[in-house]
Amino acid sequence: MYDITNCSYNQDCKHILTLLDQIETLCGHDKPIVLVGNKLDLEQRRYVSKQDVEELVKYSIPVVEGCMKQQEDRKVVLDTIIKMVLAKRKQEYVAPNKKKCNMM
């Protein structure tokens, strides 16, 4: 999670990318990761530009921005994670072989 009003975003971004590399090394690249931009209710004090955020999207990381004080915004984040987990499960699911019935 990052604060859209925080001027240390570039430092945070480098830290985030380092953490992502560590997660990939330890856990593999198929774990659901969502980057959350918080404090969207303070848009007028925004420091992190949308172009900065687009840099992370290049790494195939879904980015959701919102105000975590708002229930609807928290729901969007959770829904994004759930969709990622379900998509991964669907990818991994292999249908069992169905036995054929022979009629005599």
> Strand (E) positions, 2-77?
2-3, 35-38, 63-65
- C-alpha 4/C-alpha 21 separation (Å) is 23
Q: What is the pLDDT of residues 25-82, one digit of tens each?
A: 887 766 677 788 889 899 899 888 888 777 777 777 788 888 888 888 888 888 888 8
Give the residue, 103 or 35, on which the prediction is more confident.
35
Give pLDDT, residue 11.
72
- C-alpha 69/C-alpha 3 separation (Å) is 13
* CATH number for domain 2-91, candidates 3.40.718.10, 3.30.530.50, 3.40.50.300, 2.40.40.20: 3.40.50.300
In this prediction the pTM is 0.66
